[in-house]
Each structure stands twice: as C-alpha cells, then as structure tokens.
Structure 1
Amino acid sequence: MAGETVITVVGNLTADPELRYTQNGLAVANFTIASTPRTFDRASNEWKDGEALFLRASVWREFAEHVAASLTKGSRVMAQGRLKQRSYQDREGQNRTSIELEVDEIGPSLRYATAQVTRASSSRDGGGQFGGGAPRQQVGGNGGGAPAQSQEPWGQPAGNGGSAGGSGGDVWSTPGGTYDDETPF
C-alpha cells in the first residue's frame, strides 16, 4: 500500500514470542526485537555497542503460530514489516503513542547459527503454495553438522516421490533416469 513505512530490522528477541488468541479465534504473537548498532573505536581498538532500539512487533493468524513454535528468546532474526503508530490512553488518562512493527516476513539470521527449515501443512487450503503451506523455521544449531534428513527443493523431504529418475510429479525427472533438452512443460 502506498505511504506505508517498510523497514527491515536485524536483532535479537528479548523473550519468547507471546502467542494469544482473540475472541474470534485469531492467533497473534507479540515479541520485542532488540537491535544494537556496533561501531569500531580506532582509539581503543575495540568494538563499542551503541544505544539499543527495542521494537515491539506482532504477527497474525497461522504465521503467528509458526513464529511462536520456531523462535525463542535470544534468537537473532531478520524481520521486515510496516511501522504502525497507535495512540491510546494509559491508566492515568494520559495520551500515549507507540510505534510497532507489523511483521510481513521474519526468519532466523544465519550469521552465527544454523537453521533447519521444514514446511508446515496449511489448515486453510490443504497444502498452500507449492503443495506444502507456509514454511516453519526451527532455529538452533545441530553443531553445524548436516541436517537430520536430506531435503529436496522447496523443503520437501527426500523420498516423497520427488527424487531424480522417479515419478510422483517431479517435472524434471523422466522415467528410467534419461534426460533430454526438452522442457517437460
């Protein structure tokens, strides 16, 4: 939408995402991202932390459930979304304003960690885009080793009828494992 302020924030979650449900049954996850700028001080020859930005963020619906199941306190994330300003009155009757991030996309930063991405099944449409629903990201490391199970493109586990030389809907495979230059669609 025109006129919206879209930003990308890289930082760490200050607590586990808080998953709640509205009276209508819609899931919402709220969390805070702490983003601290670092600069190199040549005089002392060391890195110095700047003043941290604490930004409240929220996600809705099935996306909220994925975030709550995948991210935890301390997780380094990259989040992109729209800044929203909200005005309200506090308990003392004072007018207050808060700025929050309505997250469109979020994921773990792989700068200092590894992540295993698995596709979550969609409850809405029985599969979602590419037949697997929205991705679910599990943050953490397995010691930097290989994933627990091999994966084909789009996050589908190997052996689900999508390996080379087999059938099962893989447009790049041909029976018997022979290939030609003709695009199969």
Structure 2
Amino acid sequence: MALPNLHGVARLTADPELKFAASGTAVCTLTLAFNSRRQNRQTGEWEDAGVHFQRAKAFGQVAENIAESLTKGTEVAVSGRLETEQWTNEQGEKRSAAVLLLDSIGPELRRATARVHKVERSTAGQSGDSWGSTPTNSTDEPPF
C-alpha cells in the first residue's frame, strides 16, 4: 500500500535544521503550519479557521538546498508522503509521530519573489551519464 500524499501551502514555524548522518547524508527537519482562512459572512472579515502543524524531513541535496534557501515564516508549496516514525525514548517508552517526507518544496510566489540558482553537480566518477561526460565516439556526436 502506498503512503498517503500531502500537497499544500504552509508556513515554516522555525528555521530549517540541517544535520548530517554518520554516512554523510544531509538530513533537514522542519515544522510546517498549514492553516485555513475563511471570510466571516456577517462582518466580511477574514479569520483563521484552524491550523495543523506537521514535521517534515528531506534528505541529500534537497535538504541542503532547503537549509540554504528557506527561513522561519517563509510560505512554501509542498508535496510529500506521510510516514509514521517510531522510536523508544530514554524512559524506554515506545513513541510514534507522523512525518512528511518531502518530495518537493519551494517558496510560494503569490506574495513573494525568489531568485533561483541552479546547483552545479560534478559528474566525476559517475558512469552512464551521457550528458555530463565527454563523448567516447570519434565524431563527438551526441550519444543518441
């Protein structure tokens, strides 16, 4: 069975936290606040209709890009899969919590602007990369 998907617009409640696993993989954790607003029919004023706080995680280059690009209060568009994390606390009690494994995240551009900088990736040591490596045929033609 597939994990449930979540797509929406949220706000970061704090600056993203970037750590590195023992393997060297970057792990970024953040908390998102999803809220609803509705217009009061009698007064015409907008009011908050509820909020849902959700922990989220990203790994690898995405984690590093999040930590470099986003800060507390940033409104973001997110897409990811909900998963239940389980652990045992220091008192030996089993705990669990839902976490959103981020597939994509970016600034919401309705009320903000952003400047995109493409991350350069090294192709050294990678095999099978026809676009980033030097062609091996004698005519220097594309590999297709």
Find the residue that maps to 1:52 and give its secondary structure. strand
* Distance in 1 separating the partners of 2:10 and 2:53: 9
**Which letter maps to 1:4?**
L
Deviation at 1:3, TM superposition (A): 1.7
Alignment partner, residue 119 of structure 2:
120
**Comparing 108-117 and 42-51, the one that deviates more:** 42-51
Q: Which amino acid aligns with 1:35?
A: F
The count of corresponding residues between Structure 1 and Structure 2 is 129
Q: State the secondary structure of the residue aligned to 2:90.
A: coil
What SS does structure 2 have at the residue aligned with 1:116? coil
Name the CA distance, whole Å, in 2 between partners of 1:106 and 1:8. Answer: 10
TM-score, length basis structure 1: 0.64
Query: C-alpha displacement at 1:108, in angstroms?
Result: 0.5
Q: How does 1:41-120 map onto structure 2 within 5 Å?
A: 41-120=40-119
SS of corresponding position for 1:68: helix
After superposition, the CA RMSD in angstroms is 2.2
Aligned residues with identical type, % of pairs: 38
Q: After TM superposition, where is structure 1 displaced by more than 6 Å over at least 4 residues in a row?
A: none
Structure 2 gap segments, 5+ residues each: 133-144
**Equivalence for 1:28:** 27
What secondary structure is seen at the aligned counterpart in 2 of 1:119? coil
Displacement of 1:87: 2.3
State the AA in 2 paired with 1:61.
G
User: What is the rounded CA distance, in whole Å, between the counterparts of 2:96 and 2:10 in structure 1?
Assistant: 23
Match of 2:11 in 1: 12
> Partner amino acid for 2:31?
T
1:105 Cα deviation (Å)?
0.6
Per the TM alignment, residue 101 of structure 1 is displaced from its structure 2 partner at its CA by 0.2
Q: Extract unaligned runs of 5+ from structure 1.
A: 132-185
Post-superposition shift, 1:51?
2.0
Under a length normalisation based on structure 2, what TM-score does the superposition of the two structures give? 0.81
The letter for the 2-side match of 1:9 is: G
Q: Deviations over 1:63-98 (max 9, x none)?
A: 111111011111100110000012223334433220
Report the Cα distance in structure 1 between the residues aligned to 2:27 and 2:38, rounded to whole angstroms: 35
Shift of 1:43: 1.7
1:149-181, Cα deviation, whole Å (9 max, x unpaired): xxxxxxxxxxxxxxxxxxxxxxxxxxxxxxxxx
